[in-house]
């Protein structure tokens, strides 16, 4: 069994490594998960079989098809991770936490099969998924589990987490979810790990999370607010958030459709994401930007006709160059910022 990572090191599922070894890093992905909406899971449907005839319908209406949200095959996941490596990628952060079926042993196997470095998250997803795991546990009990996952490993696996989250926040933010966030701050103080957050769908949620973490004594420079793609649409909203010192994450890269089933909003495409990122760079927030795909459905994997984990190194980097992002800017977003955030403080 490997030892725990120390300050200055990154805690991967196969043990501690130096931050310079990470390479291009995807900060918010799921290699193995089950994010089936609870109401869909309750109906007891058979799993969808994706064919050329239905792949568009399943991809477009992604919440309506049971099985699309279940990533549970280790060898498929390893093949998909290998495509990321072949495109120039180095590290995938799997932020699958309690409530959406984390599988640390599976993640370790994926690293061994694919050669991709994997960092695992610890914590609790939104209450509608994780209510059983959160239960009536106290802030200290919840914090103790997260700290143990980072220091000693998940249960008896000897496989350790390296980041806290994705921590789920709903709109409105529930009492149980606030308890979890408070616990995440304690775990951050104890371990030096970064907290990564799934905010509520309300545009005020990212700011509320930033203020909550600061007032609880957390380090907001090590706080990543994810899913900005479906939460903040205007430049001034983005700059107002980054002004809080947090890291903004655009993690829907590869979703080029405006349709979003959970709310009446128009999702941006990759071009619009890069426009907002360009504005954040111009305003001097270059150290506070990370990107990812948040893959959690089979139709986004290459095997079922999707873009796969290789989309950012293969396609988005090319688009950034075409849009005159400099090489240092690209490196900062894809390599340096993730390396800093994944290094235990």
* Strands laid side by side in the 24-29 sheet: 24-29, 89-94, 117-122, 163-168, 195-198, 223-225, 247-250, 289-291
Q: Cα(first)–Cα(last) distance of the chain, in Å? A: 23
CB of 243 to Zn ion, least distance (A): 25
| C-beta closer to Zn ion: residue 9 or 149 | 149
CB of 30 to Zn ion, least distance (A): 6
- Which positions ≥6 away from 185 have C-beta within 8 Å? 195, 213, 216, 217, 218
| C-beta closer to Zn ion: residue 249 or 294 | 294
For every residue of 157-210, DSSP letters joined together read S-----EEEEEE--SSPPHHHHHHHHHHHHHHHHH-PPEEEE--SSTTHHHHHH
CB of 196 to Zn ion, least distance (A): 9
| C-beta closer to Zn ion: residue 106 or 239 | 106
CB of 226 to Zn ion, least distance (A): 7
With CB under 5 A as the contact rule, which of the stretches 14-22, 67-75, 273-281, 293-301 interacts with Zn ion? Answer: 293-301
Q: Which residue in the set 222, 294, 307, 308 belongs to the binding site for Zn ion (CB under 5 A)?
A: 294
CB count, 10 Å around CB of 345? Answer: 15
Distance CA 302, CA 342 (A): 27
What value, to the nearest 5°, has the Cα angle with vertex 8 and ends 3 and 12?
Answer: 45
Residue nearest Zn ion, Cβ-based: 294
| C-beta closer to Zn ion: residue 149 or 294 | 294
| C-beta closer to Zn ion: residue 29 or 270 | 29
| C-beta closer to Zn ion: residue 177 or 294 | 294
CB of 1 to Zn ion, least distance (A): 29
Asked whether 76 and 177 are in contact (CB, 8 A), the reply is no
| C-beta closer to Zn ion: residue 90 or 168 | 168
Residue count at the site for Zn ion (CB under 5 A)?
1
With CB under 5 A as the contact rule, which of the stretches 15-23, 69-77, 138-146, 292-300 interacts with Zn ion? Answer: 292-300
Distance CA 313, CA 303 (A): 18
Distance CA 107, CA 13 (A): 7
With CB under 5 A as the contact rule, which of the stretches 5-13, 152-160, 294-302, 311-319 interacts with Zn ion? Answer: 294-302
Interface map 17-56 toward Zn ion (x if CB under 5 A): ----------------------------------------
Beta bridge partners, 71, equal: 33
Closest CA to 302 of 78, 23, 26, 54: 78
Interface map 251-290 toward Zn ion (x if CB under 5 A): ----------------------------------------
Radius of gyration of the chain (CA): 18
| C-beta closer to Zn ion: residue 229 or 294 | 294
249: contact with Zn ion by CB under 5 A: no
Length of the chain measured in residues: 345
Binding-site ranges for Zn ion (CB under 5 A): 294
């Amino acid at each position: 069994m490997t030892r725990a990572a120390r300050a200055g090191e990154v805690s991967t599922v196969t043990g501690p490594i130096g931050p310079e070894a990470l390479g291009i890093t995807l900060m918010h992905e799921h290699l193995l998960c089950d994010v089936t909406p609870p109401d869909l899971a309750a109906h007891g449907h058979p799993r969808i079989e994706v064919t050329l005839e239905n792949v568009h319908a399943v991809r477009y209406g992604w919440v309506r098809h049971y099985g699309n949200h279940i990533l549970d095959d280790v060898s498929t996941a390893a093949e998909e991770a290998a495509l990321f490596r072949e495109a120039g990628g180095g590290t995938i952060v799997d932020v699958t936490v309690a409530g959406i079926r984390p599988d640390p042993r599976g993640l370790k196997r994926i690293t061994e099969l694919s050669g991709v470095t994997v960092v695992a998250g610890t914590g609790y997803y939104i209450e509608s998924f994780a209510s059983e795991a959160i239960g009536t546990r106290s802030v200290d009990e919840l914090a103790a589990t997260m700290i143990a996952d980072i220091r000693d490993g998940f249960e008896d696996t000897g496989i350790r987490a390296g980041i806290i989250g994705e921590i789920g926040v709903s709109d409105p933010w529930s009492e149980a979810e606030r308890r979890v966030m408070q616990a995440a701050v304690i775990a951050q103080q104890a371990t030096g790990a970064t907290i990564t957050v799934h905010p509520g769908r309300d545009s005020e949620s990212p700011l509320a999370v930033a203020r909550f973490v600061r007032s609880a004594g957390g380090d907001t420079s090590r706080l990543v607010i994810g899913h900005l793609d479906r939460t903040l649409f205007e430049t001034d909203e983005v700059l107002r958030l980054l002004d809080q010192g947090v890291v903004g994450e655009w993690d829907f890269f590869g979703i080029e459709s405006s349709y979003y089933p959970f709310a009446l909003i128009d999702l941006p495409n990759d071009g619009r994401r890069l426009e907002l990122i360009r504005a954040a760079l111009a305003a001097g927030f270059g150290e506070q930007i990370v990107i990812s795909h948040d893959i959690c459905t089979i139709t986004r994997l290459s095997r079922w006709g999707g873009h796969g984990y290789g989309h950012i190194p293969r396609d988005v980097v090319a688009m950034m160059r075409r849009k005159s992002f400099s090489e240092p800017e690209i490196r900062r977003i894809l390599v340096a910022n993730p390396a800093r955030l994944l290094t235990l403080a």
